[in-house]
Structure 1
């Protein structure tokens, strides 16, 4: 099975491990352009699945939890 043929709805479960930039931006109240800029700068972790760039929410949660312990 090719990655391009994966149904994105099956990838996004209750914990939303990965999600489209558009969905992530909408859910978090930022523009898609802002989310893409954060990805480009390395602020927002992402992963490429096939031809799509997806926000890696698991890695983001880990980063945030690590910062919480340090602060």
Structure 2
């Protein structure tokens, strides 16, 4: 788990992340991440039968200045 308030080096993150790994990175529960995916609050992509967090898209939007992620922001998810 990443220590609170410790910056994350965005350039070394993988293009996608499992929901479990994403929850660990943020120090939150898997249920919270699952809810974000189900509500399209974070960018996600379906690979096989599983949904992964689209880290590439997330980082791109963070670099563009996005700071608020709301339900339905990513309803166009694959």
**TM-score of Structure 1 vs Structure 2, range by shorter chain:** 0.5 to 0.7
Matched residue, 1:11: none
**CA-CA distance at 1:21 after TM superposition:** 0.3
Which structure has the larger Rg? 1
Matched residue, 2:65: 67
Q: Higher helix fraction: Structure 1 or Structure 2?
A: 1
2:29 equivalent among 28, 31, 43: 31
Mark the runs of 5 or more structure 2 residues left unpaired by the alignment: 1-11, 67-78
Aligned length: 55
List per-residue Cα deviations over 1:22-58 (Å, max 9, x = no partner).
Answer: 1110111111111111122222111000011111111
Matched residue, 2:46: 48
Given the two structures, how large is their TM-score scaled by the length of structure 1? 0.67
Given the two structures, how large is their TM-score scaled by the length of structure 2? 0.62
Mark the runs of 5 or more structure 1 residues left unpaired by the alignment: 1-13
